[in-house]
C-alpha cells in the first residue's frame, strides 16, 4: 500500500481503533454528525450520538458496515457526546470502552459488552469508578493483562484533574512547567473497572527531562495509543493544536517514554487521531482527515496507510497532506 486509502469516504467517521478478531480487521470509530452548533475549542460542535462498527478482510479490501452497535439513548447514565472508543477481548466477551459526558456534562468512561466483535453492545448501568476525560485505548500485554490509556485536554477535560482528583478551576500548567500527561491504569480481571489508581504517562526528551507544557510540538494532548515493536513499548499520541501524531518509546508500559519523533504531519482538518496495528507482518496506520467533507473539522473520514520502521526502530514520518 503505497498511498493512503479512504475507507468510508461517504460516511463521516473518525478516531479509529482497529483490532484483528477471528482473522478479520474490525474498526471502531467515532461517528461525526452535523450538529448545527458553531465550532469551538471544546468540541461542542461534535454531535456524536452512536457508534457503528466496520470490518474488512485486509487493509486493501472492501469495508462492511455492521450498523449502529451502541446508541447514546440506550446508556442509562448518558448526557451527550460519544467520542473516541476502543474494544478489547477476553474469555469470549468483547468489551467496548467509550467516553461520554454524564448528566452533569462531565466526561466519564463507560463499558458495554457483546458476544460478537461486530456487536451490538449492551452498556453497563454506570461508568467505571474513578474514570474521567476521554480517548480510552486498551492494550493487552504479553502476559494477558489489560491496561487502559486515556486522557485529552481542552474539550477532553484532562486539565480539570490533578492526582486523579477534580480541581476547582481547571487549567493547563504554565509553559515552563511539566506538561499534563496521559493516564494509564491496569484493568480488573473482569475488565469492568480499574484495578489500580490511574498513573501519569511521563514523556521525556532525549536528555531525560520531562516535556514542558509550552512544548506544543512534542507534548501530549490526546489520542493515546500503545503498541509493541521488537520488545519496545511505543506510546503514540496527538499534539492537538500543532496537529501532529508523535511517538515515544520505553521499556515499561507505565513509562517513562522518550520522545522519538513525528509519525504523521498535520492533515486537512483541525484534529488528528490514529491507531497502529500489525497485519500479516506489515504495519498500518489508521487515521482521519476532512478532505471528503471539504475540510470541515467535525466531518472526518477514515484513512489507512502502511508505516515503515528504520533499523533503529524509529518510524518513518508520513506526510499528512495538511498545512
Residues recognised as catalytic: 15, 222
Beta strands 203-204 and 257-264 are parallel
Rounded Cα distance, 323 and 321, in Å: 7
All 3 cell numbers of residue 16?
Answer: 479509529
Cα dihedral 55, 136, 12, 45, rounded to 10, equals 170
CA-based nearest residue to 23, from 198, 287, 280? 280
Burial 290-314 (b: 16+ CB within 10 A, else e): bbbbeebbbbbbbbbbbbeeeeeee
Report the distance separating Cα 311 and Cα 272, nearest Å: 27
Q: What 3-state DSSP class applies to 241? A: helix
Amino acid at each position: 500500500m503505497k498511498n493512503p486509502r479512504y475507507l468510508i469516504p461517504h460516511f463521516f467517521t473518525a478516531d479509529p481503533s482497529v483490532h484483528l478478531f477471528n482473522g478479520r480487521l474490525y474498526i471502531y470509530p467515532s461517528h461525526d454528525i452535523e450538529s448545527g452548533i458553531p465550532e469551538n475549542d471544546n468540541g461542542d460542535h461534535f454531535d456524536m450520538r452512536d457508534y457503528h462498527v466496520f470490518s474488512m478482510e485486509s487493509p486493501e479490501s472492501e469495508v462492511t458496515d455492521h450498523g449502529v452497535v451502541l446508541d447514546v439513548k440506550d446508556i442509562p447514565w448518558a448526557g451527550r457526546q460519544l467520542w473516541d472508543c476502543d474494544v478489547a477481548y477476553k474469555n469470549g466477551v468483547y468489551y467496548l470502552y467509550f467516553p461520554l459526558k454524564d448528566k452533569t456534562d462531565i466526561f466519564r468512561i463507560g463499558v458495554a459488552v457483546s458476544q460478537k466483535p461486530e456487536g451490538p453492545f449492551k452498556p453497563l448501568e454506570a461508568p467505571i469508578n474513578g474514570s474521567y476525560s476521554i480517548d480510552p485505548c486498551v492494550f493487552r500485554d504479553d502476559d494477558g493483562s489489560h491496561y487502559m490509556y486515556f486522557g485529552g485536554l481542552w474539550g477532553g477535560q484532562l486539565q480539570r484533574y490533578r492526582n486523579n482528583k477534580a480541581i476547582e478551576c481547571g487549567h493547563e500548567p504554565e509553559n515552563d512547567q511539566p506538561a499534563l500527561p496521559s493516564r494509564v491504569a491496569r484493568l480488573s480481571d473482569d475488565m469492568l473497572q480499574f484495578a489500580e489508581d490511574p498513573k501519569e504517562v511521563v514523556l521525556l526528551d532525549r536528555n531525560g527531562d520531562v516535556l514542558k507544557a509550552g512544548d506544543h510540538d512534542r507534548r501530549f494532548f490526546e489520542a493515546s495509543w500503545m503498541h509493541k515493536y521488537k520488545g519496545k513499548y511505543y506510546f503514540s499520541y496527538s499534539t492537538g493544536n500543532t496537529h501532529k501524531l508523535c511517538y515515544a518509546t520505553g521499556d515499561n508500559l507505565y513509562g517513562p517514554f522518550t520522545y522519538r519523533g513525528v509519525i504523521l504531519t498535520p492533515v486537512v482538518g483541525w484534529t488528528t487521531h490514529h491507531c497502529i496495528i500489525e497485519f500479516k507482518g506489515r504495519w498500518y496506520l489508521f487515521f482521519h482527515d476532512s478532505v471528503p467533507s471539504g475540510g470541515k473539522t467535525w466531518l472526518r473520514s477514515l484513512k489507512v496507510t502502511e508505516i515503515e520502521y528504520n533499523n533503529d526502530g524509529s518510524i518513518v514520518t508520513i506526510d499528512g497532506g495538511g498545512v
